[in-house]
Amino acid sequence: MTLTQLRFLVAIADAGLNITLAAERVHATQPGLSKQLKQLEDELGFQLFTRKGKSLETITHAGGHVLERARTILAEAANIRSIAANLRNEARGDLRIATTHTQARFVLTDAIAALSRIYPQVSVHLQPGRENDALALLDGGQVDMAIVSTSGTPPPAGIALPAYRWNRVVLAPDTHPLAKLPRELSLDDLAAQPLISYDSSQKPESSLRRAFDAAGLLPQIAITAGDADLIKTYVRAGLGIGILAEMALLPRDTGDLRALPADHLFARCTTWIVLRRESVLREYVLEFIERFAPHLDRRDITRAMAAGTHIAEGVAVPHWRERQLADDGVAAA
Amino acid sequence: MTLTQLRFLVAIADAGLNITLAAERVHATQPGLSKQLKQLEDELGFQLFTRKGKSLETITHAGGHVLERARTILAEAANIRSIAANLRNEARGDLRIATTHTQARFVLTDAIAALSRIYPQVSVHLQPGRENDALALLDGGQVDMAIVSTSGTPPPAGIALPAYRWNRVVLAPDTHPLAKLPRELSLDDLAAQPLISYDSSQKPESSLRRAFDAAGLLPQIAITAGDADLIKTYVRAGLGIGILAEMALLPRDTGDLRALPADHLFARCTTWIVLRRESVLREYVLEFIERFAPHLDRRDITRAMAAGTHIAEGVAVPHWRERQLADDGVAAA
DNA sequence: CGCGTTTACGTCGTTCGTAACGATA
DNA sequence: TATCGTTACGAACGACGTAAACGCG
């Protein structure tokens, strides 16, 4: 058994059992991987994959267990390398973040810009996807951190650090009757309109859905999109009323759209930075977290990692707007 | 970085930084280890050990972290091999148990005998020591399980499965006044005598010490020994009254010694089987546990391992004497 | 002078890439 | 026929063991 063999194994698994694809990803030749896989199977004495003809078909049950162990072995090997890189103040490296489109597009930009100013040699890889995908990538060791949002409790896996809180806003065309409503918006107002929101609002456990359920209302979600830009586009086209995260608002949106606060209608959400419990963080990762969530102290983070528990309690988590103000303050200073 | 390099690293650490000794233990030559260590240090870019002249002096701070990671890597590699060995019904293997002398000498014998009858090719290694040593060995991956006793809560680390409960007994020479006491033994009776007990009874948190403390008494512990046989020897020599675990009583001891129950004087103790949370158990390990603690079901064990929690609650844990009866019943059947 | 580590060197095994072959859709 | 995996072969690298040199107590 070799680290190389295990690396090839997970590469094959991550490439969807396509050995050729896996080979390019690890910068090796395809026969090399084939052979190493065969040797590993010979040594262990059982098939890691079921074959259909010559192609790999599925992972064996036992193979899945081996794969899991191989992943943690490789993660720990990477940790050792991180220890070394931190010690020598190595400035190069990768920062792989799995997150949603909203975070990547509207929230992370400043912190990433700051990071690549301080560490120009660090390349940032953003892996957009659903919340669950992000957590799965984190657990599989494919990314260094996941940045996800929940309403209420932190995500179940890993070390979750609260980054900030935010509310939803309702977005209507300037010309729409709702945009000039003389009173506060109500859930009934919204239930009467075709709505446009994120894909995730389809799920029954979404805080959007729960708010309507609690009021005994059945909203008509006309269009869902994974992407705030798409939502805005459809709102502009007059196809419905948008409900989205307040971070997704841009100054120029106020030209033809009207954003109505919805704090009183939907549960407040929290965005979390989720880290692998066992991972050794590179210096620039800590730097990034501090830039992104300035209320988190370096020591808080390392302490939470050591204790293996998230630090939801006992940390004052700023709201999105306060956070924006704080950022401005920093920029002005 | 190679698995071999990491194996050599932990071998060197476990050999007390003596490369020559480490080399014999891993069945390799000393220059080989030296060279691999050097290569690893070169690759990581820092010293894993501080040198004094040519000899290794201490482990670097960062080296300690690397060592820790290396240990889990090797443990996971061993897990992969265990998966393979289980799958091919491999009958050979090692069972390394860290435990106290009392367990090894008086309690484990039957289960080990049964195991080596069923799996003659499995070699059992008993590692005697204190409770804390046993848990440290378990945590370092040097042993497969620890078998330790506590009064009350399970040991903090690993998966703890309750094996059985037991009480202390007081041991006096047949001729001693205490042996013919017409009434029940009291703590005052004991406090008036020179006592002979285990080394661990010196510790303030021992249940022995706590019982006397609670009664406001200061016992005179005249002799301590790590070993029940020694305690008996000194009791026979008339040097004091013995206090030891009821398991340590043998039928032939009743010839010249008198055992007095002490259930009402000292807190009941529990003996735990402690496993590493992440370890894959070989078939024969499950077999051993079932033999040793028949009230534990194979499924209970795997479930507890998967859940990562001990199963202290919800399991009826037999008392030592009931357990003995049950064993007899099995033997008779 | 013994113990332990490092350095030097030769041999062996292994890995890796190129190329040809085979199977499958 | 195109795609993907296996087998074959040769070159280069790396690991390992033996032998000798070096430092230290």
Cβ neighbours of B1 in A, within 8 Å: 3, 77, 80-81
Of B283, B276, B268, B309, residue with least CA distance to B164: B268
Containing H/E element for B71? helix B61-87
Q: DSSP E strands: which ranges in chain B?
A: 49-52, 55-59, 93-99, 122-128, 145-150, 159-166, 168-173, 194-198, 220-225, 241-245, 257-261, 269-275
The CATH architecture of the domain made up of B92-165+269-332 is 3-Layer(aba) Sandwich (3.40)
pLDDT confidence band for A316 (50 / 70 / 90): confident
C1' nearest to CA of B51: which nucleotide? C5
A62 to chain B: which residues are within 8 Å by CB? Answer: 83-84, 87
Average pLDDT over residues A179-197: 90
pLDDT higher than threshold 60 for residue A332: no
Average confidence (pLDDT) over B142-163:
91
Output the average pLDDT for chain B.
90
CA of A230 to C1' of D3 (A): 38
Residue B4 scores a pLDDT above 60: yes
Q: Which residues contact A179 (CB under 8 A, 6 or more apart)?
A: A172, A173, A258, A260
- The residue-averaged pLDDT of B86-91 equals 92
| Cross-strand bridge partners of residue B172 | B258
Burial of A110 (0-12, 13-18, 19+ CB in 10 A): middle
Name the residue in chain B with its Cα closest to that of A69.
Answer: B76
Do the Cβ atoms of A73 and B76 come within 8 Å? yes
In the predicted structure, residue B327 carries a pLDDT above the cut 70: no
pLDDT at residue number B311:
75
B54 in contact with nucleic chain C (CB within 7 A): yes
Nearest-angstrom CA–CA distance, A103 and A166: 12
With a cut of 60, say whether residue B192 has pLDDT above it: yes
Reported as a single tens digit per residue, the pLDDT across B42-53 is 999 999 999 888
**Contacting residues 51-80/B vs strand D (CB within 7 A):** 52-54
Strand C lies under 7 A from the Cβ of residue B177:
no
Residue A329 has pLDDT above 70, yes or no: no
DSSP 3-state of B199:
helix
pLDDT higher than 50, residue B200: yes
The pLDDT value recorded for residue B333 is 42
Six-digit token string for B249: 């009583």
Q: What does CATH list as the number for A3-85?
A: 1.10.10.10
Q: What is the mean pLDDT of residues A88-98?
A: 94
What gap in Å lies between CA B173 and CA B232, rounded to an integer?
Answer: 9
- Asked if B127 and B98 count as a contact pair (C-beta separation under 8 A), the reply is yes
Residue type for A112, please?
Answer: I
Write out the CATH class of domain A168-261.
alpha beta
Would you tell me how many other CB atoms lie within 10 Å of the CB of residue A232?
21
- Calpha distance A53→A56 (Å, rounded): 8
Residue A18 CA, nucleotide C16 C1', distance (Å) = 20
Question: How far apart, in whole angstroms, are the C-alpha atoms of residue B287 and residue B264?
Answer: 35
Percent of chain B with pLDDT over 70: 97
B28 touches strand D (CB under 7 A): yes
Closest residue, by C-alpha, to the C1' of C22: A54
Q: How far apart are CA A92 and CA A96, in angstroms?
A: 13
Place of tokens 């009392």: B102
Rg of chain A over CA atoms, in angstroms?
Answer: 23
**What percent of chain A lies above the pLDDT cut of 90?**
71
**Are residues A77 and B87, on separate chains, in Cβ contact within 8 Å?**
no
Closest alpha carbon to C1' of D14, residue: B36
CB atoms within 10 A of CB B320: 20
Per DSSP, helices labelled H in A147-206 are 187-191
Q: Distance between CA A200 and CA A202 in Å, rounded?
A: 5
Instruction: Between B51 and A111, name the one with better pLDDT.
Output: A111
Strand partners, A141: none
Distance (Å) of CA B267 to CA A24, A246, B169, B231? 64, 60, 11, 20
The alpha carbon of residue A278 is apart from the nearest alpha carbon of chain B, in Å, by: 10
Query: Residue B312: its pLDDT value, please?
Result: 66
d(CA A218, CA A310): 36
Q: What residues of chain A lie within 8 A of the CB of B62, using their CB?
A: 83-84, 87
Q: What is the pLDDT of residues B256-311, one digit of tens each?
A: 999 999 999 999 999 999 999 999 999 999 999 999 999 998 998 998 898 877 77
Task: Give me the pLDDT at residue B181, please.
Answer: 83
Asked whether residue B329 carries a pLDDT value surpassing 80, the answer given is no
Phi-psi region for residue B173, left (φ > 0), alpha (ψ -120 to 50) or beta? beta
Other Cβ atoms less than 10 A from the Cβ of A225: the count is 18
pLDDT at B219 over 70: yes
* Nearest-by-CA chain A residue for B80: A66
pLDDT tens-place string over residues B310-322: 776 678 889 998 8
Confidence of residue A327 (pLDDT cuts 50, 70, 90): low
Domain ranges of chain B: 3-85, 92-165+269-332, 168-261
A311 has a pLDDT exceeding 50: yes
pLDDT at position B332 is: 45
Domains B3-85 and B92-165+269-332 belong to one CATH topology: no
The CA–C1' separation of B62 and D20, in angstroms, is 34
Q: Is residue B74's pLDDT more than 90? A: yes
Tokens of A271: 């965005």
Closest chain B residue to the Cα of A67, Cα to Cα: B80
Distance B27 CA to C8 C1' (A): 22
Contact check, Cβ <8 Å, B66/A80? yes
Lowest mean pLDDT of A57-61, A287-291, B310-314, name the range: B310-314
pLDDT for residue A257 is more than 90 = yes
Q: pTM, whole model, 2 decimals?
A: 0.88
CA–CA gap between residue A19 and residue B299 (Å, rounded): 37
Residue contact B62–A2, C-beta within 8 A: no
Angstrom distance, A71 CA to C14 C1': 25
Express as a percent the part of chain A with pLDDT over 70.
97
Assess whether A142 (CB) lies less than 7 A from strand D. Answer: no
- The H or E element containing residue B307 is helix B298-307
